Amino acid sequence: MKFDIVVVGSGIAGLSFALKSAKLGHKVAVITKKERSDTNTNHAQGGIASVMSKTDDFESHVRDTLIAGDGLCHEDAVREIVRSGPREITNLIEEGVKFTSLEDGSPALGREGGHSQRRILHVKDYTGRAIEEALLKSVEGNPNITIFEHHFAIDLITESKAKSFIHGGEDKIVGLYVFDTKNSSVKTFQTSVVMLATGGTGCVYLYTTNPQIATGDGIAMAYRAGAEVANLEFIQFHPTALYTSEGDRFLISEAVRGEGAVLRNAKGEAFMGKYDARKDLAPRDIVARAIDSEMKRLGSPHVWLDITHRSAEELKNRFPQIYDHCMGLGIDISKDYMPVVPAAHYMCGGVRTKLDASTSIRGLYACGEVACTGLHGANRLASNSLLEAVVLSSNAAKSVDEYLRENKDTLHEVPLWRDGDLRNSDERVILQHNMGELRRTMWDYVGIVRTTKRLERALNRLQNLHREIDEYYWNFKVEPDLIELRNEVLVAILIIKSALSRHESRGLHYTLDFPEKSPNIRDTILHKETF
């Protein structure tokens, strides 16, 4: 199967890039392992941050981003992405996204933690879903784009893997192996460009706000192919996921605190003032650690989020999804406090890219949560994620267009997938047990507060698990659970190795063994030879 470009993932990053590339005349395949709308984007409630009012300015947004990133942001990336925001918001509106507006037609801007101004464009509390629907509608009407649902990317094919690599040359992308889950067969895609837009890694943890697709596939594939990955120790735990005894973690948007909600401990005390002058609107790393501290101090399973000063009518209008979900659990948020806890939410690191989304492998690009551009630093500012995705997808489309024109008619023959005499696994229960062990280990040992001893214990356990899973992978035919588990355990080990190498506390990485910041500010960069 031959395409100019193969996009892995169908969220805002992948679809935006596919649309822009298709409009430049390229034949694009979009592969997604579930339904086309099963994405992290579809679960994004809060919105997209951009300077859109006369009382705001780029310098303010840049400053807020740098402060939240705790000294590790790349200022050039921050400035380019922030300044490109209004242009990309206009593009989204042209694609059919109808942001919530005021009576005069101007956007109704929300405020979230870490922001000094109201600058969050939103569609009530289902912004991601509205963007996803608009982009899918445009994609489905474009003849240059083919969507492959229920197709699971297994591994990248590079020249070196295809055995056509000339010694001393530069490795590059020539294809991709993809598992067709409906037909239980592996397809070989031949292409000069792969765009990884696979989202995050939340499912390596026991409790996450992410959908079950967020298994770190893009980071794992890129790393195995030899690409650089960066800053994987910076896992953002969203401070306010709805607590249930069943373990589900429905996201309660930061926008709720932006509209005046207050965090209270088990005694009903508003506690954020003890931890930060910005109180409930402090950046997420500070709020998550404060909640963790209050829960441990009082021995409580959760804290409370209080927005009872707002009327039911106001809350139904501004947060219809949250209001209805809580009401379904018997919680009237206009009268009752919401029980909330932190949960794994966002990977601030990822595949290391330039500002055109290119990676250290020619022809391999990454965009969205899977990528590390330098925007987020040690802690992502709320609602900067969708902003980064649309800006980088636009930059990438131009860069890929140039790359394809320079490398026209250079497609290489790629080896077809061979299963040989491998058999189907009859021990799927082992995969489920291994998955549970992995996620529990990450939650218990690689969480909001870390120690070297905990990280080393987690690493020992997961390296043993990695060996077992690797042996299993090569002895049986592939299937979705096995592919995900293989990716998750690799990404989990990379997270731990990154955390162990950072001998300081900065942003989302807080360790009791090194509680202070180091004067040596650096990114954590890993590639295959360092494993």
Q: Which residues are catalytic?
A: 284
CA distances from 131 to 36, 150, 199 (A): 13, 21, 16
Q: Which of 392, 515, 388, 385 is nearest to 450 (CA)?
A: 515
Cβ distance 371 to 357 under 8 Å? yes
The DSSP line for 444-510 is HHSSSEE-HHHHHHHHHHHHHHHHHHHHHHHHB---HHHHHHHHHHHHHHHHHHHHHH--S-BTTBE
Q: Which two tokens stand for residue 364?
A: 């391999």
Q: How far apart are CA 128 and CA 131, in angstroms?
A: 5
The Cα 377–Cα 231 span in angstroms is 8
Strand-pair category, 229-230 with 350-352? antiparallel
C-alpha radius of gyration, the chain, whole number? 22
Contact 399, 363 (CB under 8 A): no
Residue 166 near residue 412 (C-beta atoms within 8 A): no
Q: Is the alpha carbon torsion for 296, 299, 305, 306 positive or negative? A: negative
For the chain, what is the total number of helices (H) and then of strands (E)? 13, 21
Q: What are 225's two structure tokens?
A: 């192919």
Nearest residue to 345 (alpha-carbon basis) of 318, 319, 291, 382: 382
| Residue 390 token pair | 């649309």
Q: Are the C-beta atoms of residues 455 and 493 closer than 8 Å to each other? A: no
Q: Taken in order 224, 225, 226, 232, is the CA torsion positive or negative? A: negative
> What is the spatial distance between Cα 5 and Cα 185, in angstroms, rounded to a whole number?
21
Burial of 421 (0-12, 13-18, 19+ CB in 10 A): exposed
260: left (phi over 0), alpha (psi -120 to 50) or beta: left
Strand, coil or helix: 287: helix
